Structure 1
Amino acid sequence: LDIVEGRTENDCKQLIEQALTSEQRAQVTAVALDMWQAYANAVSQALPKADIVHDRFHLSQHLNDAVDSVRRAENKALNKIGDNRLKGSRYCWLANEENIDKKRAEQFDVLKTSDLKVARAWAIKEMFRGFWDYRYAGWAKRHFDRWYAWAIRSRLTPIKKKAKMIKNHLPNILTYFKHRISNAVAEGLNSKIQTIKANARGYRSFAGFRNS
């Protein structure tokens, strides 16, 4: 509907108020967004009747980042002793398992069932995917509690940090089961916007970019 230049709380509030009339804002029941606190604050002020729904794809990205941190550290340690098992395996740890081609899948089967730290991190990430399969928030919360207990006991610092972050935002994650919305459409539009920006080789001013 519109864009603004910054990412601050005031910028987000300005975007909402210039893109939607007061009547439209009164009808908004839910907003999907990432866990950037400035956005949540702006939505709470400008759309007080709306539930905040933290985007499931951003959560997946956070867990992927944690798995990749574990992989990088372990790969560095293994390389020092001449063990190159993790070489070229990054894609497998981060992709959805069903999207891995047959050749890679055969190699990955060995890695994911090994005693590697990244194998444990990956298994924890995969367990969290099941959170989204529930129909009701109560059952999803029970799944989360089991997952969180495992993540905290994992002795994997990147995983523990992300688990604590997710727990802190859990109330606005469980709202997904009420509204079933995500940022998928917005991310698709953003991709097109970035393509336009790249094709134009940049803009001299934000106003010119916005008018395009």
Structure 2
Amino acid sequence: MTDLRAYFDGILDRHRVEVVCQDMWTGYRSLTKAMFPRAVTVIDKYHVQRTANYGMEVVRRALYQSLSNKDRVKLKRKRALFLARKGGETVAAQEALASVFAAHPAMQTAYDIKERYYDIYASESWAQAEAAADRWLSSVPVEFEKPFKTSIDALRNWRPHILRYFEHRYTSGYVERLNGLIRKMDRNGAGYSYEVLRAKALLKHGSATLRKADGSIPFELMGPDDEDMEIGDVWVWSGSPISTLEADLDGDAF
């Protein structure tokens, strides 16, 4: 948290930030509220939606543990089917789901709860989403409240920030994707530190822009030239496009 505060404190014009997208952790909320006082908080939709996947998994695992070895075999390798969205399945997948649901109605109930939770984000406005959230909360059977507690708590504890997505449609998908690439770089880096990997990426693909002391960027500045700099000016290094980093990673360039 201390490192994040120092990082945010160094952001130029942070008072001009209008929207902050984050996950459901009160520590982040307290920090971003302090560092970006004019910004509204939007909870990232994927962090909200994946709570329903967790509930689905709780039901699946409980059922799996209750079955005989013979019946467990029939449920093997079905996890992806339960977590996939309805409507995009192949005919074979639809038949496999129908077979499981016929044998285990609880799985169909959990699947339907998960799908309705996702459907909240099909709403076109705050009002529609709030109505959908209320319908979902009232539709969860008592015996499924414990498996889907994380989803229920999300809507009850973070509702304004979740629904604000329907006014400011931002997600942290870019950051999540970048985190995935960093983890991949770490696995492929044979002991490289993050600082080394970042330096390699910047040296290969990065670019520097001179930012004046007032935050502006000089017009037609072509490159780092000490003669163009004044007291208070700083060079700001830009990162690389994710697609470029991904291509390098796939080609084992790091």
TM-score range, shorter chain: 0.7 to 0.9
What amino acid maps onto 1:11 in structure 2?
D
Counterpart of 1:129 (choices 102, 118, 121) is 118
Task: Count residues in correspondence.
Answer: 199
Distance in 2, Cα, partners of 1:160 & 1:29: 31
What is the Cα deviation at residue 139 of structure 1? Answer: 1.5
4+ aligned runs moved over 6 Å, structure 1: none
Deviates more, 1:107-116 or 1:182-191: 107-116
Alpha-carbon distance between aligned partners in 1 of 2:190 and 2:199, rounded to the nearest angstrom: 15
Query: Which has more radius of gyration?
Result: 2
TM-score, reference length from structure 1:
0.83
The question of whether the paired residues in 1 share the 8 Å contact of 2:133 and 2:155 is answered with no
1:141, distance to aligned residue in structure 2 (A): 0.5
Give the share of equivalent positions with the same residue, in percent.
Answer: 26
Do the aligned partners of residues 161 and 199 (structure 1) sit closer, same or farther apart at CA in structure 2, a change above 3 Å counting? closer
Q: Which amino acid aligns with 1:51?
A: V
Give the distance between the partners of 1:189 and 1:125, measured in 2 at CA.
27
2:169 maps to which of 174, 177, 180: 180
Trace 1:55-134 onto structure 2 (pairs within 5 A). 55-79=44-68, 82-84=70-72, 85-112=74-101, 115-134=104-123
| TM-score (norm. length: structure 2) | 0.71
1:14 equivalent in structure 2: 6
1:155 aligned partner: 144
What is the alpha-carbon distance in structure 2 between the residues aligned to residue 159 and residue 49 of structure 1?
Answer: 34
1:44 to 22, 33, 50: 33
Paired with 2:159 and 2:61, the residues of 1 have a C-alpha distance of: 28
Q: CA deviation at 1:164?
A: 2.2
- 1:142 partner amino acid: A
Query: For 1:112-139, what per-residue CA distance to the aligned partner results, in whole angstroms no more than 9, with x for missing partners?
Result: 4665322211111100111111121111
Consecutive unaligned residues of structure 1, counting only runs of 5 or more, are 1-7
Partners in 1 of 2:79 and 2:68 — Cα distance?
15
Please give the root-mean-square deviation of Cα atoms over the aligned residues, in Å: 2.1
1:4 alignment partner in structure 2: none
Note the C-alpha offset of 1:28: 1.0
Contact 1:30–1:51 (CA<8 Å) still a contact in 2?
Answer: yes
What residue in structure 2 maps to residue 3 of structure 1? none
Q: Which has the higher contact order (CA 8 A, sep 6+)?
A: 1
